[in-house]
Structure 1
Amino acid sequence: MDRTPITLSGSSQAALVDRDIAHIARVMRPSLHGDLGGPILPAGYWRKRLYQLLDAGSLSHAQLCTVDSLLLQLDQYEAEPQLAWDALAPATAALFPPPYPASASHPA
């Protein structure tokens, strides 16, 4: 079976690029901050995705500005030291104080 590449019109291609940029802008930062195990996807992954968009060519001025902004965010993320889990505030610091003084009697 021969496969023929699908060609998209300029407006369809621009819409796909817009969606890809919007997706990266929405999920990149949460992915970098990750969870206790570290980043879900590393900065290198996001940088590669953004460079692929640039290499595809024919991005509009607004698209180029957004990709550039995202690359700058990656640079800033990589330049700042990431806090180790041990350096974060202990969980007890986030707890609310009791609604009554410890010495006051209260109904159980």
Structure 2
Amino acid sequence: MRFIDDEIAHITRAMAPSLSAGTMPAVFSFDYWYERLSALLDLAQITPPQFRAVDALMVELETRHAAIGSKAREALAA
């Protein structure tokens, strides 16, 4: 259980800065973070609070991905 909590804490701290470090492509890709979060969801011993934390990170990741996609489409249209 401690491993899962440590992973969630690490991803919470590292995901956003790595995606918005101002580099294109991002330091670690959306796919990288998606795989890390998906691996946690696949663990049989994940608790409901851990599931909710990972789910919230997935939502954040998807929101950031959609925002980047919108900005890229706007830049191409300009």
Same structural fold, with TM-score higher than 0.5 when normalized by the shorter chain: yes
Alignment gaps of 5+ in structure 2: none
Measured in 1, the distance between the counterparts of 2:33 and 2:23 equals: 20
1:44 equivalent to 2:2? Answer no
% identity of equivalent residues:
35
> What pairs with 1:1-108 in structure 2 (closer than 5 Å)?
14-81=1-68, 83=71
Which protein is bigger by CA-based radius of gyration? 1
Alignment gaps of 5+ in structure 1: 1-13, 88-108
Where relative contact order (Cα < 8 A, 6+ residues apart) is larger, the structure is 2
Using the size of structure 1 for normalisation, the TM-score is: 0.60
Structure 1 or 2: larger helix share?
2
Q: CA RMSD in A?
A: 1.7
Which 4+ residue blocks in structure 1 deviate beyond 4 angstroms? none
**Matched positions, count:** 72
